[in-house]
Homo-oligomer: A and B are copies of this chain.
Amino acid sequence: MTIPDTCAALVLSHGGRAETIGGAGLADAAEWLEYRQISLPDPGPDQVLIRVALSPVNPSDLLHIRGEYGLSRQIGMPAGFEGVGTVIGTGKRAQALAGRRVSFLATGSGAWAEYALADAAAVIPVSPDIADSDAAALIVNPLTAIALVGLAADSGTRALVLTAANSQLCRLMIEPALSRNLTLIAIIRKAAQAAPLHALGVQHVLDSSGADFAARLGNVCRSEKPRILLDAVGDQIAADIFAAMPAHSRWISYGLLSATGPRLPDMRQFVFDNKRIEGFWLSRWLQAASPEHREKAEAEVQTRFASGVWSTAIGTRLTLQNTIRDLGRALRAGGKVMIAPDAT
């Protein structure tokens, strides 16, 4: 197989970081992305070059495109954090991965491209039992789900609260949480989202747009005593939930669906009730986890996809060429949007 010198990619139009954040969705992809040919560098000694089969559009990708993520942007770098593909070139110390089908974090370039560079430590050879549609999104959401549920279970709480509970990520958390005997309190924003969550075994589903929300929240906090809030939003509703939770509660923020932060009523809940607000970022978790811990989590992820306990609810499938035009609409349509670079 010959490796070309250039390939097509969706690259970032802006560099650096943004002062403010934009919230969920992406109104105008043309403002942020450009479709063009990029040159293909050779992999470094610990890197691999991957022909990308499929790459998801995750909320973190949108944050990064707009400069709201934890990494500074480089103009002209391909977007896209993860995907699935085939290793077609390797550095000296990564030859064991040659030819393998891998899920990967595109740590050397970006995944919304025909080819992507990744550090060998950021690729996971995947079982043939796992379809491309699951393997493409095997790392960001699934490892976050395993890590967050582990963190909740290790805290000793018996119950936990999830905001934006209808998200792909929250759905992944349900089975691992229930299998660890955690009671789930799911916060949704539309009544129609309740039934599918109940069907997955979630014990309490509360619609924050309902008139009785505050009363129901108070009741469930008193009866279940959740001391962990896993929050993807960061809005006033999250702050109100946190205020209703008992002493020693932790608000763990891992997503930024709200463009504006909450107002805290006062600081008593920190001083007297020993509550705290903190954050979770998978990048930090991956760096801090021991190799054994990380491999165990990766194996758990693969087992769940291979056995069908987990599956990715696919939405619109885009090409590199039509992504800029169709991405906004595809995101609004729901399901996991996938980009298929299709270099063959």
Residues of A within 8 A of B (CB): 20-21, 68-70, 231, 234, 253-256, 258-281, 284
Contact = CB atoms under 8 A, between A and B. Distances in A.
Contact of A266 (B69, B256, B263, B266): B256
Nearest to A261: B264
Copies per complex?
2
Contacts of A267: 231, 234, 253, 255-256, 258, 261, 279
A276 B274 contact: no
Nearest to A260: B266
Nearest to A280: B271
Given A256-B268, A258-B266, A281 B277 contact: no
5 contacts: A254-B271, A261-B264, A262-B264, A274-B278, A277-B277
A271 B63 CA distance: 12
Nearest to A20: B266
B279 A70 contact: no
Contacts of A258: 266-267
> Which of A20, A256, A270, A275 has the most chain B CB atoms closer than 10 A to its own CB?
A270
B270 A277 contact: yes
Given A256-B266, A261-B265, A277 B276 contact: yes
A266 B70 contact: no
Nearest to A278: B276
B255 A271 contact: yes
Nearest to A70: B272
Nearest to A269: B279
Contacts of A276: 276-279
Contacts of A21: 266, 268
B266 A275 contact: no
A279 B284 contact: no
Given A68-B268, A253-B271, 6 more contacts: A20-B266, A234-B266, A234-B267, A262-B263, A270-B277, A272-B281
Contacts of A254: 271
Nearest to A257: B267
A271 B281 contact: yes
Nearest to A283: B272
A277 B249 CA distance: 12
Contacts of A70: 268, 271-273
A259 B265 CA distance: 9
A276 B20 CA distance: 20
A255 B266 CA distance: 10
A267 B264 CA distance: 13
Given A263-B262, A264-B264, A275 B279 contact: yes
